[in-house]
Amino acid sequence: MQGDAYLKCINPQCGIEYPIEYTSVQCEKGHLLDVKYKNKPSPELKEVFYKRRNSEGSIFNESGVWRFRELLNFCQIDTENIEECSKYLVSLDGAEGRQSKPYHMSKAADFIGIPNENLWLQPEGYNPSGSFKDNGMATAVTHAKMTGAKKIVCASTGNTSASAGMFAANEGINCDVYIPAGQIAPGKLSQAYQFGAQIVEVDGNFDDALKQSLDDAQNHDGYTVNSVNPFRIEGQKTIPFRALEYLNWEAPDWLVYPGGALGNISSCGKALMELHEWGWIKKIPRIAVINSEGASTLSDLYNGKFENEKLRWNDGNPNIELISRYYDHLDKEGLRPKTKATAIQIGRPANILKGLRALEFTNGVATTVSDSEMLDGMSVVGLNGFDCEMASGATVVGIKKLINEGVIKNDDVVVGILTGRQKDAMIPVDYHRNSENEFAIPPKN
Ligand code: F0G
C-alpha cells in the first residue's frame, strides 16, 4: 500500500500535506500535523486482531500496539509479512500495551457512586516502562528509525523520558531528555539515568523544558518524541482500541483521561474519528479530560473561565488569540502550574488544538480536581490491588465529580484510563501515615 500514508496539517485553512518521511513536528506555518491514510481498513480486521491474541510466536501479535498494525500502518508494509514487520516495527519484544485492558474495580466504583458493572478502569502503568507512553513511543521510534534518526530527544515530566530512554537503549540510539530540575518523581528520574539517557536539567518547568528541547532538536539533528510528534499519537490510539475491543467494539458512553500536554485525548479523538469514519463504531463516546486545579489551562479556557469565552475548536477556527492572551496573563501574574501530581504539571499544553478538536468531535467535557482528591483516587485504586500514580488518580475522582454534577449519568458506561504506575514511593507512605485521609491505614507499633 505504498503511497497510502501521508502527513497533513490539522488547520483546515492551511492543510499542507507532506510525505510520510517528513520529520518536523509542525507544518511550515507552525501548525500540528496528522498522520492520514487514504485507504479505509475493513471492519473484518476485528476478527484478525482478536485471533492475534494467540500470538503464534509473533511479537507483533503479542504487542498491544502492533496487534492493531493495519490501523497505524504508516510504514506501509505488508502487515502479515513477519520479516517486514521485524525490519520496520520497533517493539520491546512485544511487551508494549500487552498487559493493558479494562478491569472492574469494585472499591473504586463504590467510592465514585457508580454501579460496578458500569465502570471500567484500564491500567496503562503495566507497560514495560511503567506508563502509557510506551504505546506511542513504539510508533514514534519506529518513525525515527525509518527516517534514519541517530538521536531521539524529549522534554518530560518523567514518564516520557523513562519510555524514550528504554526504547533508545533497546534500539542502540542516543537519547537526550530535558527535565524540569527538581520537579519530577525520583523513580522516573532514576529510570532515565538507568537506561543511559543524557539528562539535561532545565531550570524551569516542563513548558520551559519543552521549548528548549524543541529548539535543540531542530538545531542539533535530534528527532523529537514528545506527543507533538504525530507518530506518538498513532501508537496511543491503541489505548482506546484495546478498551473498545474488550467491550466487543460497543462504545462506552465516556472515556476519561487525566490531562497534561493533551497527547492522550488527541489520540483518543483521532482514533474515534477514524473508527467512526470507517464505520467500525456507530456511537461516539464522550471524552472527559481531568486537569489538576493547579494546572488547569484547558479546563479554564474550555469552560469560559478566562474572559468569559468558551474556547472551542470551532470547526478548525479556534480563537488562537484567546489562548495567547491566557498565556500572557499567566506570565504577567507570575502564575506557574503547581500540583503535587507532577506528571500533569503543565501550563501550556502543546496539543491544545488537537485536544479541542477531540472534545468537539466527542461532545467532550473538561474539569479539574484537587491534589487531595487525586490522592484519594490513587489510593482507592490501590485497595483494588492495582497500582497507579497520583496523576492517574485524577481519572477516578474526575468521574466521581462528573457523576455528582449529573454530567455523567449513573447508568452510563465509563472507561477511565489509569495512565501510569506509582514511581514516587513516598506519596502512598505519606498518605497512609495521615489518619485523616479517607483511605488511610496508618501503621501500628
Ligand atoms: N498521566 C501521566 C502518568 C503522565 O505521565 C502524563 C504526561 C499524563 C497523564 C498526561 O498525558 O500529556 O497526554 O495529556 N506526562 C508527560 C511526560 C507530559 O513527560 O511524561 P497528556
CA-to-CA separations, 75 to 4, 33, 90, 181, 430, in angstroms, rounded: 10, 17, 11, 36, 47
Query: Ligand 1: which residue has its CA nearest to atom 10?
Result: 260
Ligand 1 neighbour 344 (Cβ under 6 A): yes
Query: Can you tell me which atom of ligand 1 is nearest the CA of 131?
Result: 3
Give the number of other Cβ atoms within 10 Å of residue 3's Cβ: 10
> Which pLDDT value is given to residue 2?
58
Reading phi first (left if > 0) and then psi (alpha if -120 to 50, else beta), residue 117 is in: alpha
Give the pLDDT of residue 200.
Answer: 97
pLDDT, one tens digit per residue, over 293-345 is 999 999 999 999 999 999 999 999 999 999 999 999 999 999 999 999 999 99
Cell numbers that stand for 333 in this block: 501574574
CA of 38 to the centre of ligand 1 (A): 30
- Contact predicate 312/356, CB 8 Å: yes
Contact present, 29 and 9 (Cβ < 8 Å): yes
Q: Which residues of 183-205 are buried (b: 16+ CB within 10 A; e: fewer)?
A: bbbebbbebbeebebebbebebb
Is 264 near ligand 1, meaning CB less than 6 Å away?
A: yes
The pLDDT tens digits of the residues spanning 169-211 come to 999 999 999 999 999 999 999 999 999 999 999 999 999 999 9
| Cell 500514508, located at residue | 5
pLDDT digits (tens, 9 = 90+) for 82-136: 999 999 999 999 999 999 999 999 999 999 999 999 999 999 999 999 999 999 9
What end-to-end distance do the CA atoms of the chain give, in Å?
67
Choose one of 340, 344, 359 to mutate for the ligand 1 pocket test, by most ligand atoms within 8 angstroms of C-beta: 344
| Residue among 126, 157, 176, 296 to mutate when testing ligand 1 (max atoms within 8 A of CB) | 157
1, pLDDT greater than 60: no
pLDDT at 427 over 80: yes
Regarding the beta carbon of 157 and ligand 1, being less than 6 Å apart is answered yes
Contact 173, 150 (CB under 8 A): yes
Strand order in the sheet with 198-202: 198-202, 174-180, 151-155, 223-224
Q: State the closest ligand 1 atom to the C-alpha of 226, by its place in the atom list counted from 1.
A: 19
- High-pLDDT (> 70) share of the chain, %: 100
Separation CA 346–CA 259 (nearest Å): 9
Q: Which residues contact 8 (CB under 8 A, 6 or more apart)?
A: 15, 16, 17, 18, 33, 34, 36
Is pLDDT at 3 greater than 80 in this prediction? no
Please state the pTM of the whole predicted model.
Answer: 0.98
Residue 219 pLDDT: 86
Q: Give residue 337's pLDDT.
A: 97
Q: Which of 343, 420, 294 has its CA nearest to residue 184? A: 343
Residue 261: CB within 6 Å of ligand 1?
Answer: yes
CA of 132 to the centre of ligand 1 (A): 8
Whose alpha carbon is nearest atom 7 of ligand 1? 343
Between CA 65 and CA 326 the distance in angstroms is 37
Q: What percent of the chain has pLDDT over 90?
A: 98
| pLDDT band of 220, cuts 50, 70, 90 | confident
